[in-house]
Chain A
Amino acid sequence: MELVVAPFLQGVQMFAVLALAPLLLGYTRKVKARALRRAGPPVLQPYRDLLKLIRKEAVLAHNASWLFRTAPYMIFATTWVAAALVPTFATGLSFSWVGDLIAIIALLGSARFFLALAGMDIGTSFGGIGSSREMLFASLAEPAMIMIVFTVALVAGSTQLSSVAAFMQDNVGLRVSLGLAAAALVLVAIAENARIPVDNPATHLELTMVHEAMVLEYSGRHLAMLELAAAVKLLLYVSLIACIFVPWGLAPPGSGPTAYATGVTLYIGKLLAGGFLLVLFETSTAKMRVFRVPQFLGAALMLGLLGTLLLFVSRSF
């Protein structure tokens, strides 16, 4: 029985993230449009876009290399695997031990690595801009992320997300360091997903764009892969925040179908809330200059470090 259920649930999880990601994207766009008093595209628009792109033929620049063609799939795959490791509606799925939080961050790092390389492959100056800036942001976001991991791991005594979530569920307690970590994580999430104020997903204003600049040369199915990867990444971060800081309703391993049902519903609820908050934040701020971003992320890093140090100090009392 177990041998069937556990892998099944894992599969459900994997395909759930894949299925839900565009939805979350469409939902945020819709809410944002409403917030700006626009009608906005339908919620299911992202699915349509992806289908359309997938069907189209791919146009490659003359000097595109094999790396340029394989990169989108690699990026998508790594992001997907990373997302599959984050507990969404249940903890302790059969493969949750394959990688811990640090591994997830590193997987996203691999995706970014390929993306940045792909941006440089054609040899256009925009690609270069995009890659260079992306790596700059990453070089600050990743340490911040690691610091968050430290904080969480030191509180929960584990870097394994399932155990973290389980721990958080049982002994809740408002800790200063956790608050700091949460704030830092939000900042990192915004930067990593190229949202306002760091980057504007909806613009093609050359000098301000980062993510868009790297994928400028892509078209057709390749572009679709990248878009999907971006959506999955957004979902990943929201569910990450959810599973660490609001872990309630996650179904423990080996529990009954009802638990899973509640888990799923609660999870979708968290997604909606998260997307709504994100939009709220985006609409209330303006895009900042590129060289303000390091300060933005530096703040995140400082928060994370502060959280860790506080924890170390408080531990010893």
Chain B
Amino acid sequence: MSGHAYDVAHMLAGGLVLASFMLLYQDRMFALLNVFALHALVLSCSVAWQAYIQDARHLYVPALIALTLKAIIIPVALRRVVIKLGIHRTIETVVGVGPTMLAGIGLVGLSMVVMLKATGASIDPLSREDLAFALSVVLLGLLMMVVRRNAVSQIVGFMAMENGLILAATGAKGMPLVVEISIAFSVLVAFIVIGVFLFRIRERFDSVDVQALDSFRGERR
């Protein structure tokens, strides 16, 4: 394939990793949501680009989903939720931002090592890079879920993780069922956001703070 095609794809994937770092960096709820919207936007671009260079039409669908659902609807919905449920706007962290950043860098390094070591010459360089970036995005998302207390930021972390997966899926040339999978995932996310929050939790609790959620944890002592 032509060089610049590769460069653009590479840049977009790298941009996604960058966006993940920005997610980790945020400490305000709304800012977090904005950055997530950006994250989704970058993803949709990268997916679209993949669709273009692989000229696989069906890949535009996930790009579209990413754009509409993740970049627009969900951030807005979450914003509504935050306002409606009166969740306090700061993000409580377990580990400070600085250490989190360092850990994130470590994770990126790890994923690079693992992936570049694992994928021999058998696979074309683009997918290799893509895979490496995707893995780091996934790990960063997981890290986010681990080091942030609020339910909202956990969900954002989960969705970031899932973006990484979509990136990997689309990066894997000619992988079937990508569309189905991305749809399934969107269902999952929608389930989280709408189902759990507004429909169920709202009936019982005033806050969706995870602390309040798992106050019971099986057998209360």
Is A–B contact present in the complex under a CB 8 A cutoff?
Answer: no
Which A residues fall within an 8 A CB radius of B? none
Which B residues fall within an 8 A CB radius of A? none
